[in-house]
Structure 1
Amino acid sequence: MFRPVAQIPLDYSVFKDKKSIFSWAPSGAIIFGNGAAAKTGEELKKLGVKKAVLVTDQGLVKVGIAGKVIESVKNAGIALAVYDQCEADSSVETVEKITELLDGADVVIGLGGGSSMDPAKAAAIVATNGGSIRDYQGCDKFEKAPLPIVAIPTAAGTGSECTPFAVIADRQREWKMPIGGTGIMPALAICDPELTYSLPASITAATGMDALTHAIEAYTSRCTEPISDALASQAIRLIAHAIRPAVFRGDSDKDARYDMMMGAMLGGYAFTSASLGISHCMAHPLGAQYHVPHGVANALCLPVVMEFNMGAWPERYADIAGFFGVDTYGMSVREAAKAGVDCVYELLEDMPVKPLEAYGVTEESLDRLADDAMLGGDRPNNARMTTKEDFIKLYRKVMTLKKEK
C-alpha cells in the first residue's frame, strides 16, 4: 500500500556545526491546494485502502467538513468507521477508544487540528504495538511500524500533518506526553486551505501564533541545519505577512488562508529536524494544568522567550526582523535583533488572545509550572540555557501581557 518512511531515529544533538551529520525524513506524500480534501477517497483508493478509520471532532461534524471527507471516502467504495469525539488536548482515554476501532483497518485518518491528528497517530502506535500509549512517551519507544496515517489539517497551526510527533494529555498526571518517532510521520498529508475559511478569528490567531512559534523556535534552535533553516525562514515570512489578514478578514482573503496553511506546514517540517525551544516547554504545563489552549500559551510566551534568548544568537533574531519586512539597513546587529523581537510583541498586541489571568494562572502557580517546564524535552535545544528561576521570571512576565482592554 504505502511506501514506508525510513525509520530514522530522532536525533537532536545540540551544538551542530556546518559539517555535522543530520537526518531528514519527510512524510510519504503531500497533496496541497484549495479543494484537495475532496480527493481523499480517490487518493486512498489509489493506495489500495479497503478500510479506514476517520478521527475527528464534533465541531467539524457540525460545520459539515467531516461530512465532505466521509462522503469522499465512501464514494470511493472504502469501508469507513468514524470516531468524532476528540476533545481539545486529546487524552489517553480518547486514544484507547480510537484504538478499539482500528482492528482490520488499513489506515487511520486524522481530520482536524492537533487534537484529532495526534490521537490518530497515537492510536496507530498502540494498534500495532499493544499496551498503553503511556508506554511510548518519549522518542523512538515503539518497535513495530504503526498503522499508516493520513493527516488532513483544518487549521494552520500545529503542523502535525508533517511531523513525527504527537502530544497526548494524561489527565491523571496533569501532564502532556510527548511521543515521537519517524514511524508516525503521516504517509499522506492532504492540506486544503478551504477547510480553514470558516475558522473564527480567535482560533485563527491562536493556531497561527502556534505555527509562528514553530518556525521561529526552529530557526533559533541549537539544532538548526540547512534544510530546516530554509523551511523555517520561509515559514516566518509567510506567516508574518498573512496572519493579520487571515485573522481579521479570513472569510474573504483566500490568499492569506493559503499562505497560513503553507507556512504552518513548512514550520512543521522545520521543527521536525531542528527541534523547538522553551516557549513549548512553558506552553505544555499551562495546557496540562490550566487548560490554556496550546496556541494561546505559545502566543503569550513567544515574545517573552525571544527577548530572553536574543543575546544568545542576535544574528538570527536580526534575520527575523528582515523576515517581517523591517528595513534593518544601518542598524547594529543588536538593534536589528531587538526589532525582530518587537515585531512579535506588536503582533501579539493585535491578536485576539486572552491573557493568562483569564485561565486562573496566579503568582502561586509559578513554582509548579516552572518545575514542569524544566522537564520539557526541547529545553536542551533552546538558544539559551534555562534554570527554574529563569522560568519563574519568564512566566511572571508572560502574566503581565494582554491584559483585558
Structure 2
Amino acid sequence: MFRQVAQLPLDYDLFKGHDSIFNWSPAGSIIFGNGAVKKVGSEVKRLGGKKVVVCTDEGLVKFGVAQKVIDSLSDAGIQYSIFDKCEANPSVETVEKVTALAKEADMLIGLGGGSSIDPAKAAAVMVTNGGNIRDYEGCDLFPNAPLPVIAIPTAAGTGAEVTCFAVVTDVEKEWKMAIGGSYNIASLAICDPELTASLPPLFTAATGMDALTHAIEGFISRASDPISDAILAKAIKLIAGSLQRATFKGEFDKDARYDMMMGSTMAGMGFINTILGIAHSMAHPLGAMFGVPHGVGNAICLPVTMEFNLYSNPDKIAEIAGLFGKDTSGMDTIQAAKLAVDTVYELLDSLPIPPLSDWNVTPDDIEKLSEEAMKGGDRSTNPRETTVEDFEKLYQKALTLKK
C-alpha cells in the first residue's frame, strides 16, 4: 500500500521571510546516476504500469538513445508505443497527437529535453481531464490528477524532469503557455548523465545556459526561500565549474557531464518554488515568434538581465561571483556583483552560442517582442520592475551581442 503524500497548491508568495509561512513542494522521486536508464522497465512495473507511450524525438530514435528505454521496457514485459515527432518548441498540436496515442495507456514516458518531457506531462493532464490544453494555462486549473509520467532527460538543461509545469507553444497566437500544478510533477525522474555524453557542443552549451539561467534567476527571485537558496547556490556552483568542460570535451569528461546533469536537476527543483525572471520573459517570445531555441534565448538574455537587475538585488548577485570561484576579497558588494555579471558575459562569449540575427531577429521586431515579454508570468518575481521601454532597451542590447 502506498502512503498518501500532501499535494500542496503552488505558492508564489513574494515575501517568504521569517514572519511568513510558505509552501515548499519538492519534486517526485529521482533515480540518479550513470546507467540509471536501465531501471525504467522495472520502475514502470513497480508503479503498476502495463502499457506506456514513450514521447521523444526522431534524433533520439535515430541515434539509439530511445532503444535503451525500449530494451528495458521489453525486458520487463511492458507494452509500449512510440511518439517520435516532438519538436524544439512543443506545440498544442503535438500535445493533441500524444494525447490521442495515450488514451489507451496507463503511463507516459518523456525521453529527451523539455521538448519531449513537457508534451508528455501535458498529454497526461489531457487524458484524465479532457477539453483543450489551452483550458489549463496557469496554476492548479485541472481537477483530476494526470496519468503518471516518468521523465528521462537526455540533456542537462530544462529541469523539466523535476518541475511541475509543462510549457507548450500556441503557434496560432505565437505564445508559450505554462500548464502548472503540484500534480504535474513527474512521478519519477530517471537522470542518467551518460545519455548526454554524445551531445554536440552547441546543444550542450545552449541547454547548459538554460540550466544556469534557471539557477541564477531562481536564486535572485523575489520569491526566494532558504531551502531553494541552498539548492540553487549548489546548482550554480556545479554548472559554473563544468559547463565549458562539458561543451568542449563532453565525450571524454564524465565528471563534467555528471555535474551538469546534477546542476540542471537541482536548478529545476529550486526554481519551481521561486519562479524565474525576465530573461525567461524575453526568451519565450523569441521562441514562439522566431523559433529561437529556449536555451539560446536564455543564454543571450541572462547576462543582459543580470546587469539590469544588479542594483535591485546586489547581495545575491555578488554571491554568484563566489559561486563561480572568483576571489571577491577586498571588494564591496557592488563591485562583486559587477564581477558576477562580467563573468557570465565572459562565459557566454566563450561558448558556441549563435547570435539572435541567425534567427532573423531584427531591430524592427523589438516593439512586438517587448509587448509580448510584458505578458510573461516571470516578471512578478524579477528583482526589478519592468516596463515596455525597459524590455526594448534589453532586446536592443541582446541584439548587439555577436559572435
Judge same fold: TM > 0.5, yes or no.
yes
After TM superposition, give the deviation of residue 5 of structure 1 in Å. 5.5
Distance 1:338 1:206, change over 3 A: same
RMSD: 1.1
Q: How does 1:188-267 map to 2 (within 5 A)?
A: 188-267=188-267
CA distance in 2, matches of 1:384, 1:397: 17
2:38 corresponds to 1:38: yes
2:85 corresponds to 1:113: no
Tell me the equivalent position of 2:161.
161
CA distance in 2, matches of 1:220, 1:4: 33
Q: Which amino acid aligns with 1:149?
A: V
CA distance in 1, matches of 2:374, 2:191: 34
Deviations 1:99-119 (A, max 9, x none): 111123221100000000000
After TM superposition, give the deviation of residue 2 of structure 1 in Å. 7.1
CA distance in 2, matches of 1:357, 1:370: 17
Deviations 1:289-310 (A, max 9, x none): 0110000000000000000001
Contact 1:2 1:187 in 2 (8 A): no
Tell me the equivalent position of 2:378.
378
Tell me the equivalent position of 1:341.
341
Count matched residues.
Answer: 403
Q: Which amino acid aligns with 1:252?
A: F
After TM superposition, give the deviation of residue 4 of structure 1 in Å. 6.7
After TM superposition, give the deviation of residue 6 of structure 1 in Å. 3.2
2:337 corresponds to 1:320: no
Q: Which amino acid aligns with 2:109?
A: I
CA distance in 2, matches of 1:16, 1:392: 31
CA distance in 1, matches of 2:350, 2:290: 24
Distance 1:245 1:100, change over 3 A: same
Tell me the equivalent position of 2:297.
297
After TM superposition, give the deviation of residue 19 of structure 1 in Å. 2.8
2:203 corresponds to 1:179: no
Q: How does 1:109-148 map to 2 (within 5 A)?
A: 109-148=109-148
Q: Which amino acid aligns with 2:53?
A: V
After TM superposition, give the deviation of residue 16 of structure 1 in Å. 2.6
Distance 1:260 1:204, change over 3 A: same
After TM superposition, give the deviation of residue 81 of structure 1 in Å. 1.4
After TM superposition, the runs of 4+ consecutive aligned structure 1 residues lying more than 3 A away are 1-6
Is 95-104 or 253-262 further displaced after alignment? 95-104
Contact 1:202 1:353 in 2 (8 A): yes
CA distance in 1, matches of 2:326, 2:253: 23
Contact 1:4 1:28 in 2 (8 A): no
After TM superposition, give the deviation of residue 342 of structure 1 in Å. 0.8
CA distance in 2, matches of 1:212, 1:346: 14
2:70 corresponds to 1:75: no
Deviations 1:172-211 (A, max 9, x none): 1111111111111011000000000010000000000000
Q: Which amino acid aligns with 2:19?
A: K
Tell me the equivalent position of 2:288.
288
TM-score normalised by structure 1 residue count? 0.98
- 3-state SS of 2:328 partner: coil
Contact 1:5 1:182 in 2 (8 A): no
Deviations 1:64-105 (A, max 9, x none): 000110110111011111111111101111111111111232
- 3-state SS of 1:8 partner: coil
CA distance in 1, matches of 2:171, 2:361: 18
Distance 1:106 1:66, change over 3 A: same
Q: Which amino acid aligns with 1:161?
A: E
Distance 1:2 1:240, change over 3 A: farther
